[in-house]
Chains A and B, each alone.
Chain A
Amino acid sequence: MLKLNKSSFNDFLTDVMRYNELVAPVKTDTSRFETIRDISLIDIDLHTYFTAKKFFFKKHQTLYTAEKGKFKVPELQPEKKQRVMVGLKRCDLNSIKRQDIMFMKEVHDPYYTEERDRTVLIGVHCAKEYDEYCFCSSMDLGDYYDLMFYDKDDAYLVEIGSEKGRNFVERYRKYFWDTDLFLKPEDRRTYTSLQLQKKDMESLRENPGWKKEIDKCLSCAACNTLCPSCYCFDMMEDIDATLKKVQMKRNWASCQLQCFTKVAGGHVFRETREDRFKHRIYHQVQYFKEKHGINLCTGCGRCIRGCPTRINWVKMINDMEEK
């Protein structure tokens, strides 16, 4: 097993930052993942309010530009610096896995793949729950990282999860020390007091328990925006002032808005707030699992933490009485 002493952690990060783009959690007005220029801003244990997905699945991505019948794809840049992301939590890492399934396995998306290929993912294990909205311990999260750091007194125990992680350790070998310490199974678990207890969602579709929380929903789309797994998007054209150059863009979309299912002619398929609310929950904890074997939701709790009316849908489902 390898370890990284906390006393040399800052030196390690400084060294990494010198030759790589370093991304880590930062406490600003709120908390988010940012490209680091000053390592004193990093708070490695922070469970950020905003997700890290914008680094791979960007808010706005130009897919191609069209001008006078010629289509141009924005050039991929394999010579870009390597990116090292530090401080991802188990929920963040697992949601990256969900997005990898969609953008790299289901469809080969060149824009996403390029960003993923140049990134080393370094996780930091949460030894205790961050706040009362986390419910990751009930979401069957797996191991998905290049490196994982486990807090152990004055050092981090380091677990290697991929070839990319191994190469990274080799490059920064001087910071990593061999140790006799090892991880116990309980060291790798997460503990949260909130848990999604029900597994059979289909039987709950018409349950009266939905109503109270749905009535609180504003359809503001904060849950989608803050979700690290949500991958739906719009494709929209951006036209310049001369009306000649067109950019086809991919932008984040929200299933909570009516326009999400509005077709030409004006018909909206999920017209009621109830249908849209249920659609999000069912996509997160049923549909995705039916197809890929794992839930889309990773239990990070951001959708509850960021909800302006604080809809705790996990508690809502737990409280539903089964017939």
Chain B
Amino acid sequence: MPRTKTRREEPEPKKENPYLPKACKVTLFKRESPDCFLIRADWKGKYEPGQFFQVSIPGIGEAPISVASYSEDHLDMNIREVGNVTKYLANLKKGDTIYIRGPYGNGYPMEKFYGKNLLLIGGGSGVAPLKGILMYVDKHNDNFSDVTLYFGFRTPDDILFKDDLKNWRKKFQCNVSVDKNPKHVKTACDVCFVTSLVEKAKLDPENKVVFICGPPIMMKICVGLLKNKGFTEDQIYISTERLMNCALGLCGHCMIHGKYTCLDGPVFRLDELSEFKHD
């Protein structure tokens, strides 16, 4: 007689549900600029600079946020208010709960760059993921000799990580520009696009790796400038932004040329994205 009900012969070991977030407490909220803020969560665990987390607020939504720190007992995220979730996060305070799953993505393969000279080019909130690199460099100081920064912001008010910048100016070759200075405040920054700084700079491609993160148009121009200066595609790493839903390499929204931004990215070596103009 056939059995009425069939059960699995051997129960498989229970695997974690990949969609479920974990609750975390906000331990620090800091306004960085009129539309950017920093949230520190008490996330415990390993992550690499360049990776990202899915941050959710039930009822508001879920958004991918890149890490702006390098630590094992907390997680900093620099967030710009652009969408529903980020606008909600902007009103949080210390002690509030947020829901996080991750880390996702590949991050910057920092160990591969020991002994190399680093060139970091960031625009606006694209500076946030690069901050993780700088914190990594701080902890592994002996392995990196020459670190050069080119950071661009819209106005002096929009400059992020002002306290850190003071520090960075001492340690690294630090170049900061602002697009405009509407209030004519006194500033140590050049008033121009960050791409102009890169264009004017004398950069030697020898033994260098470049990290670019910023608005798509800025990244595109920088890549062109660097290629003119003799940099090759395998020296340039860019951080990409895409719509992401699952962050597990399933939902398909973030696909670029068959690669998942959430798995194979968000950091790509330029030659991996041979023709990224199509996507």
A185 part of interface (Cβ distance < 8 Å): no
Q: Which residue of A lies closest to B263 (CB)?
A: A106
B246:A283 contact, CB within 8 angstroms: no
Chain B residue numbers with a CB within 8 Å of A255 are 252
Q: Please give, as numbers and ranges, the residues of chain B lying within 8 Å of A64 by CB-CB distance.
A: 17, 19-20
* Interface of A, helix, strand, loop or mixed by DSSP: mixed
Looking at the complex, which one of B58, B83, B246 makes contact with A233 (CB distance below 8 Å)?
B246
Could you tell me the dominant secondary structure of chain B's interface residues?
loop
Question: Contact: A231 with B8, CB < 8 Å?
Answer: no
Is the CB–CB distance between A172 and B2 below 8 Å?
yes
Q: Would A239 and B251 count as touching, CB distance under 8 A?
A: no
- B277 closest partner in A (C-beta): A275
- The answer to whether A107 touches B18, judged by C-beta atoms less than 8 angstroms apart, is yes
Question: Given A64-B20, A232-B253, A264-B63, A110–B15 Cβ distance below 8 Å?
Answer: yes
Interchain CA distance A234-B4 in the complex, whole Å? 37
Interface 9-residue window, one of B135-143, B170-178, B237-245: B237-245
B196 CB to closest chain A CB, in angstroms? 24
**In the bound complex, CA of A118 to CA of B61 (Å):** 33
Bound CA span A103–B252, Å:
13
Would A291 and B258 count as touching, CB distance under 8 A? yes
CA distance A253 to B249 in the complex (A): 15
When C-beta atoms are compared, the residue in chain B nearest to A15 turns out to be: B2
Chain A interface size range = 35 or more
Within 8 Å CB of A235, what residues of B?
19, 62, 245-246, 251
| B243: min CB distance to chain A, Å | 5
Residues of A within 8 A of B58 (CB): 66-67, 69, 237, 246, 248
- 17 A-B pairs with CB atoms under 8 Å apart are A19-B4, A63-B19, A64-B20, A69-B23, A78-B11, A110-B17, A234-B251, A234-B253, A239-B59, A244-B59, A246-B59, A269-B243, A282-B257, A282-B258, A283-B255, A287-B257, A291-B258
B residues lining the A interface (CB < 8 Å)? 2-8, 11, 15, 17-21, 23, 58-63, 82-86, 97, 99, 216, 241-243, 245-246, 248-253, 255, 257-258, 275, 278-279
Using CB atoms and an 8 Å cutoff, list the residues of chain A in contact with chain B.
15, 19, 63-64, 66-67, 69, 71, 73, 78-79, 81-82, 102-103, 106-110, 117-118, 171-172, 205, 231-235, 237, 239, 243-244, 246, 248, 253, 255, 260-265, 267, 269-270, 275, 278-279, 282-283, 286-288, 290-291
